[in-house]
Amino acid sequence: MTIERAPVLIEQCEGQRLTLAGLAAAARLSTSHFCRLFRQQTEVTPTAYAEHRRLEHAKRPIDEGGRTLAQVAVAAGYADQSHFTRCFRKYVGTPSDARVATALRRALATDRGAGAHREPGARRRPVGDW
């Protein structure tokens, strides 16, 4: 594996326990050299990249609902909901903000499909107030 394939490997091993030493060994590099090259290529550390990917994958079950945050946290590989929420807030915002943003995107997509698009924050003019 080359350093260019490291992000792909991180995504393919979603849900599995990855270590820097394991990724570096797969790239046939020392851990420190691997971290330095990875950061040069992606502009983030391997750990930050992997955590961001885990959180991106956790957004879908949050958006869909039906599962508690504790269940989503465990499925994403976090020890508890508290740690998951802190990390999620750091990268994405609060889980409830993510749900609201998804609902708004869906509502706007529905409105656009009907041809009734209005700019966010634009006020409706009362009928007869011309």
Backbone angles phi, psi at 114, to 5 degrees: -90, -5
Count CB atoms within 10 A of the CB of residue 46: 22
Q: Among 44-48, 62-66, 121-125, where is mean pLDDT lowest? A: 121-125
Domain ranges, ordered by start, for the chain: 1-43, 51-116
DSSP single-letter state for residue 13: T
pLDDT band per the 50, 70, 90 thresholds, residue 129: very low
pLDDT at residue 65 greater than cutoff 80? no
First to last CA, the chain: 67
User: Is the pLDDT score of 35 beyond 90?
Assistant: yes
Nearest to 13 by CA among 86, 70, 5: 5
When mean pLDDT is compared across 5-9, 33-37, 72-76, 108-112, the lowest value belongs to 108-112
For position 89, what pLDDT does the model report?
A: 85
Q: Does domain 51-116 have CATH number 1.10.10.60?
A: yes
- 127 φ/ψ angles, rounded to the nearest 5 degrees: -65, 135
Q: What's this model's pTM, rounded to 2 decimal places? A: 0.65
The string of pLDDT tens digits covering residues 67-112 is 888 998 888 888 888 998 888 888 877 777 777 777 777 777 776 5
